A and B are shown apart, each in its own frame.
Chain A
Amino acid sequence: MGNMIKTIDVTDSLTNLKDACDLESGRISGKIFYDQAIYEQELEKVFARCWLFVAHESQIPKTGDYITTTMGEDEVIVIRQKSGGIKVFLNACPHRGNKICFSESGSARGFICNYHGWSFNVEGNLVGQHESGVYEDSNFDKSKWGLKEVANVDSWKGLVFATFDPESPSLQEYLGPMTWYLDALFDNQEGGTEFVGGCIRSTYECNWKIAAENFVGDILHAGWTHDSAARAMLGGSVAKVSDFEESYSVNWNGHGYEFALDTVGNVAVLGESALNRYIHTIKPSVAERLGDFRSNMIGSVSSCTIFPNFSFLPGQNTVRIWQPRGPNKMELFTWVVVNKSAPQEVKEKWRKGAMMTFSPTGVFEMDDGENWEYCTKTAKGRVTAQQDLFVGLGMDTLLTDTPLPANVYEGQLNEANSRAFYQYWYDMLNAKSWNEVPNRNVGKAEAE
């Protein structure tokens, strides 16, 4: 298997990480958002090992359809195969390492490197070179010099994930019972979902974890941070989350989903009555498909991050990857997801609604960006970077007697998911192999 990727040797863990991250006492420090050595460890121990979101199936429907993205800072090509499967290659020529695909998406019969004309087919095999005779004279074995393929690719309900690490658990095991919750957005109608065309990319001077954590379990900020946007879109403040009778924070392996059961709270901030109507129209069929409980989640006040950097907001239907670009920089890739079966005008309202609220021009996101950047930038100060930061809300809220899968905590105004996110991150940084990652899951691995 000359074309399989060569995994990296994992370097020793940092010895002083405990000082910066102590979740049992609900404490982290800004150092984890600014430290170059910690960032280097993340690229190796998180991004080179975990399952990372790379594409939605709908972006590459036909053979040769591809998109380019990054896994951590590694550039990859995600391409549909004749077999119907998907392969993910390093976007680097095995000759001198030059980037071979410069376009963000398209359809190709293969890729030819601009440097020495090495040519690869859709399967990633090297099929030719400029001046191919000289290679033959050197007994060159073409079969060994194809594009390097990642260790594993798998998908869940249209979401395609890849991992560089052949030792990583299966995607199913990695996601665990979180898939039960993912279905509330990604499988609530026959035919599943698709991405709207295009991708909006923007650049933040912030650490990727701040943003990932914001979606993993921080609805607390919404009522305050987003007051201005809510007043602009709705003419009033956002729903008071503490008024919800029932809400949860659930997590597993560092992934987290916080949600209320109000069905339509996230959708409502788009200010498009047609979307509220759509949600109410499909709700009975969602209840038939997924049960009453999850039919209340389809557009409710909620957010989710799949560890490490894949996040979405049900209802607003914005989907993103927080791409790491250094300890204090990230690129944000933003898409919009819609049900395939939704009427065209509904899809169109979501395309615009997500843009209007949660995108670089979105009235909600304006106020997030400032917060995330300055949570990062203050940690530039060596003294500030080591101050304790509080992540202690909801310490004793674990529900032990619940039919819900995963680790379930009462209430969404709760930092349980944030702690679980940082804990898993800390565990990954301390583990030289997957066997060393402690299993901290205490809830049900499957839905009853």
Chain B
Amino acid sequence: MTALYDEQRPVSVEQHYRISHFLNYEYRLLDDERFDDWLALMHDEIHYWMPGIENRRRENLLEHGFYATDHMAFFDDSLRDLGRRVARFKQPSAWAENPATRNVHQLSNVEVYYGENDGEYVVHSTFQSVRSRGLDEEYVIYGRRQDLIVQDGESFKIKKRLILIPNATLTCKNINTFL
């Protein structure tokens, strides 16, 4: 993804603010379990991808180093797939979501560049996702993200998201949230 876009053209402070604000808003929707509103921020052609990370020697790297397009992934989703995940969260029989998982999503290190086409922006960032369940369960996932954001009227839509965690072994049992 990095190679596809011109990273030499950072956007204006004002545009940087608008896009950062949009992404912070997106994360707040997740923390508030407003899944339909969150889903509405996704572009029809969204590719939401979190590849599995493989611990390999430097001389045996994959297509993208630690990950590859056709290898196993945590998410490799279209809009339909994301919709199905949201549909599960909303079922009264999603037993493991009641009591609810309490989420804090945090975004930082935001860099925004102009994309290849008008109205497209490439955003690099880092995130922390903190989840707590029950009385004492806590799971933290750290990672880096590359988003392709497109202008949509006064707002934006997310067209591509690449999520990279440093871990070759997920330190928890699941990812019952979006990152």
Contact = CB atoms under 8 A, between A and B. Distances in A.
Interface stretch (A197-205, A299-307, A385-393, A410-418): A197-205
Interface string B10-53: 00000000000000000000000000000000000000001110
B138 to A, nearest CB: 12
Contacts of A373: 173
B94 A367 contact: yes
Interface in A257-293: 271
A103 B60 contact: yes
Interface in A304-356: 331, 334-336, 348, 351-352, 355-356
A103 B72 CA distance: 17
Contact of B68 (A197, A201, A356, A367): A197
Contacts of A92: none
B56 A105 contact: yes
Contacts of B171: 203
Given A103-B57, A201-B170, A331-B169, A271 B95 contact: no
B74 A359 contact: yes
B2 interface: no
Contacts of B176: 366
B1 interface: no
Contact-residue bracket for chain A: 35 or more
B87 interface: yes
B84 A233 contact: yes
A106 B84 contact: no
Given A197-B70, A359-B74, A228 B81 contact: no
A378 to B, nearest CB: 12
A365 B76 contact: no
A102 B57 CA distance: 8
A408 to B, nearest CB: 33
A81 interface: no
Nearest to A364: B88
A360 B177 CA distance: 11
Nearest to A334: B72
A93 interface: no
B172 A355 contact: no
Contacts of B71: 196-198
Nearest to A357: B84
Contact-residue bracket for chain B: 35 or more
B133 to A, nearest CB: 8
A104 B172 contact: no
A232 B87 contact: yes
A227 interface: yes
A176 to B, nearest CB: 31
B131 interface: no
A369 interface: yes
A231 interface: yes
The listed residue with most A CB atoms (<10 A of its CB), out of B59, B173, B176, is B173
B95 A200 contact: no
Contacts of B111: none
A351 B70 contact: yes
B96 A355 contact: no
Given A197-B70, A355-B74, A361-B74, A202 B84 contact: no
A204 B173 contact: yes
Contacts of B74: 200, 355, 359-361
A199 B72 contact: yes
A198 B62 CA distance: 10
B35 to A, nearest CB: 12
B174 A361 contact: yes
B174 to A, nearest CB: 5
A79 interface: no
Interface of B: 50-52, 54-57, 59-60, 67-68, 70-77, 81, 84-85, 87-88, 91-97, 168-176
Interface of A: 102-108, 196-205, 225, 227-229, 231-233, 271, 331, 334-336, 348, 351-352, 355-356, 359-361, 363, 365-367, 369-370, 373
Which 3 pairs from chain A and chain B are nearest by CB? A198-B71, A106-B60, A228-B91
Given A228-B91, A356-B81, 10 more contacts: A198-B51, A198-B52, A198-B71, A198-B73, A201-B168, A203-B172, A331-B169, A361-B85, A366-B94, A367-B95
